[in-house]
């Protein structure tokens, strides 16, 4: 019986020793876990929004009208060029567009987006449908500024959503679409100038042959954006 008495305290001592080791291991694991959480939360809180982020214009610019012509068959190529109905742009570019929208809204108008970010895959699709360098950039040579997320095709609507009378429709490749304004009415020219002024004052540049197309003057900051799941067709 004396042996039994000796054995019990010994077992107790062993258990308490192992408990202590276990407690230290668990404590270290918990501390590591909390430290990791602290680092992650710090990163999430302190990481600033980058101008290069892609943002959804529907959320980013209140009241903006969006009708993505290439998401439907209702375009010059008579085929959908991409299947997304999201109008995306770089945050820096969207910020400028928001400024243009505010200017135009104060004058009783709104922007209407025809095309914004165009995935590089869509450029292959365009080239497949129209392999003509006068109208489409050969994706084997390079990509449109739309694929950088830093160019936009826009027109103007009034407060009822009615499109203003502009020089031409979208993707009209005639001389009427250019900016010399000689072969269009005064109203068309005035409306195109109204749009151009709001866009240029907000940090875009216009191009001569397409009254609807505007490049972010900072587009050199952004490279072609490949979506994470992108695969070249
Ligand atoms: Zn364009």
Kindly list the domain boundaries of the chain, sorted by start residue. Answer: 1-47, 54-221
* Count of residues in the chain: 233
Q: If you average pLDDT over residues 135-158, what whole number do you get? A: 94
pLDDT per residue as tens digits for the range 208-225: 999 999 999 999 999 999
Would you say 169 and 211 are in contact if contact means Cβ atoms under 8 Å apart?
no
pLDDT per residue as tens digits for the range 57-70: 999 998 999 999 99
**Distance (Å, rounded) from C-alpha 207 to C-alpha 178?**
8
pTM for the model: 0.77
Burial of 174 (0-12, 13-18, 19+ CB in 10 A): exposed
pLDDT per residue as tens digits for the range 97-144: 999 999 999 999 999 999 999 999 999 998 998 888 877 899 999 999
**Distance (Å, rounded) from C-alpha 154 to C-alpha 137?**
20
Would you say 89 and 55 are in contact if contact means Cβ atoms under 8 Å apart?
yes
pLDDT band (50, 70, 90) for residue 3: very low
Structure confidence at residue 2 (pLDDT): 44
From the list 67, 95, 163, 210, the catalytic residue is 210
pLDDT per residue as tens digits for the range 22-50: 566 566 665 666 566 555 555 555 568 99
Tell me, yes or no, if 210 is annotated catalytic.
Answer: yes
Alpha helices in the chain (DSSP H): 2-46, 57-60, 91-106, 120-129, 186-201
Beta-bridge partners for 112: 65, 155
pLDDT per residue as tens digits for the range 9-26: 555 555 566 666 556 656
Encoding tokens for residue 214?
């505007």
Rounded to 10°, the helix 186-201/91-106 angle is 130
Going from the Cα of 86 to the center of ligand 1, the distance in angstroms, rounded, reads 16
Structure confidence at residue 199 (pLDDT): 98
For 18-22, 118-122, 175-179, 194-198, which range has the lowest pLDDT when averaged over its residues? Answer: 18-22
Structure confidence at residue 228 (pLDDT): 79
Name which CATH class applies to 54-221: alpha beta
Going from the Cα of 146 to the center of ligand 1, the distance in angstroms, rounded, reads 7
Going from the Cα of 144 to the center of ligand 1, the distance in angstroms, rounded, reads 8
**Distance (Å, rounded) from C-alpha 97 to C-alpha 151?**
10
**Distance (Å, rounded) from C-alpha 50 to C-alpha 123?**
26
pLDDT band (50, 70, 90) for residue 78: confident
Structure confidence at residue 111 (pLDDT): 98
- Residue 213 region, left (φ>0) first, then alpha (ψ -120 to 50), else beta? beta
SS (H, E, C) 158-192: ECCCCECCCCCCCCCCCHHHCCCCCCCCHHHHHHH
Going from the Cα of 4 to the center of ligand 1, the distance in angstroms, rounded, reads 91
Going from the Cα of 225 to the center of ligand 1, the distance in angstroms, rounded, reads 16
Structure confidence at residue 134 (pLDDT): 78
Going from the Cα of 171 to the center of ligand 1, the distance in angstroms, rounded, reads 9
């Amino acid at each position: 019986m004396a042996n039994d008495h000796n054995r019990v305290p010994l077992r107790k001592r062993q258990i308490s020793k192992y408990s202590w080791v276990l407690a230290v291991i668990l404590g270290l694991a918990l501390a590591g876990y909390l430290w990791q959480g602290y680092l992650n939360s710090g990163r999430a809180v302190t990481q600033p929004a980058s101008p290069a982020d892609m943002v959804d214009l529907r959320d980013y610019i209140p009241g903006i009208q969006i009708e993505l012509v290439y998401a439907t068959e209702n375009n010059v190529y008579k085929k959908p060029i991409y299947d997304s109905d999201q109008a995306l742009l770089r945050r820096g570019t969207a910020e400028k567009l928001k400024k243009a929208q505010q200017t135009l809204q104060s004058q009783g108008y709104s922007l209407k987006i025809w095309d914004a970010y165009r995935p590089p895959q869509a450029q292959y699709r365009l080239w497949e449908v129209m392999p003509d360098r006068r109208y489409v950039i050969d994706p084997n040579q390079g990509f449109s500024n739309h694929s950088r997320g830093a160019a936009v095709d826009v027109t103007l609507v009034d407060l009822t959503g009615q499109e203003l009378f502009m020089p031409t429709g979208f993707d009209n490749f005639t001389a009427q679409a250019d900016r010399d304004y000689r072969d269009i009415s005064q109203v068309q020219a005035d409306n195109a100038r109204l749009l151009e002024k709001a866009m240029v004052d907000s940090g875009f540049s216009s191009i001569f042959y397409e009254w609807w197309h505007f490049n972010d003057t900072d587009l050199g900051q952004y490279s072609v954006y490949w979506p994470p799941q992108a695969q070249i067709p």
